[in-house]
Amino acid sequence: MTMPAPKIDGRETRAIITPLELRSADDAIRTGVGYAALFDTWTDIGGMWRERIAPGAFTTSLAERDVLALHSHDSGRVVGRKGAGTLILREDSKGLAFENPLPDTNDGRDLIVQLERGDIAGMSIGFVSVRSEWDETKEVTERTILEALLFEITYTAYPAYRDTEVALRSLELLRDERRDHNRAGAGARLAARRARQAQLERGI
């Protein structure tokens, strides 16, 4: 069963500059085709860390969640919906691929013109990180997103990363995530020490 797009705090957005294709079918339907996210591609997050999305990060979302295709992250400008069959998403070795038959609406027609003119330069995704792995042993901290709850893909005229946007929307959330990760590691180390101490006390 497809579940509705979630309303959850802690949302993040990431954007990529990527070639977009506009295909025409025999029935005159125009379809947007491309990638909304790329796997194993490092992105600098405002000089604070760099991150990548692991292959398979969206598998659960694609199986269980509804996902919207939007224009400019505007939920009032829906141009496709996974649950309605007007947005087809799949993961391959490269990333998150999509096909989106565009509607015969003002937003759909505008988007067709903008894609033809090259005004839309890339795609963005809206998601919540479910599982991430941090590596702070490197000169620049690295984050790998292992699982993400996807709720939208967006056609955008501004696909380049904007420092202030992520800093405002995501930095505090990610700091919390890193604290939780560090606490979990500290808890595991403490449990191991206690287990070893118990073994020593029993003479093992």
Give 133-184 pLDDT, tens digit per residue. 999 898 889 999 999 999 999 999 877 554 434 444 455 566 566 666 666 6
Q: How many Å apart are CA 156 and CA 118, to the nearest integer? A: 11
pLDDT at position 165, please?
43
pLDDT at position 47, please?
78
Determine how many CB atoms are found less than 10 A away from the CB of residue 109.
Answer: 13
pLDDT tens-digit readout, 26-58: 667 899 999 999 999 998 887 788 999 999 999
Residue 81 DSSP SS3 = strand
What mean pLDDT value characterizes the chain?
82
Spans of all domains in the chain? 12-161
Higher pLDDT, 190 or 166: 190
Determine how many CB atoms are found less than 10 A away from the CB of residue 112.
Answer: 19
Short-list 85, 89, 200, 192, CA closest to 148: 89
Task: Give 115's DSSP letter.
Answer: H
- Split at pLDDT 50, 70, 90, the class of 114 is very high
pLDDT at position 5, please?
39
pLDDT tens-digit readout, 61-101: 999 999 999 999 899 999 999 999 999 999 999 999 999 99
